[in-house]
Amino acid sequence: MKSEILHLLRHADGYVSGQQLCETFGVSRTAVWKVINQLKEEGYVIDSVQNKGYRITEYPDIIT
């Protein structure tokens, strides 16, 4: 589910609501919140705005 949420956030034109993510994946808001926090720990900067949702503002520096 983490990769799917990341995909949605990357390709969204604006904010993606927590409710939309819950309905899309059939999970609770807590589950979505945990995934968002995991992504933040991985280096993604995710803007969270009440009544709007989430959006990625910075991507981690990944060396391959």
Q: Which domain holds residue 7?
A: 2-58
Region for residue 43 given its phi and psi (left: phi exceeds 0; alpha: psi -120 to 50; beta: otherwise)? left
State mean pLDDT over 21-46: 96
Q: Is the pLDDT of residue 63 over 70?
A: no
| Residue pair 53/18 in contact by the 8 Å Cβ criterion | yes
pTM to 2 decimal places: 0.87
Predicted confidence at residue 47, as pLDDT, reads 96
Q: Is residue 63 assigned to a domain?
A: no
Which CATH number does the domain housing residue 22 bear? 1.10.10.10
pLDDT above 60 for 64: no
User: Is 90 exceeded by the pLDDT of residue 16?
Assistant: yes
The domain total for the chain is 1
- Mean pLDDT across the chain, nearest whole number? 94
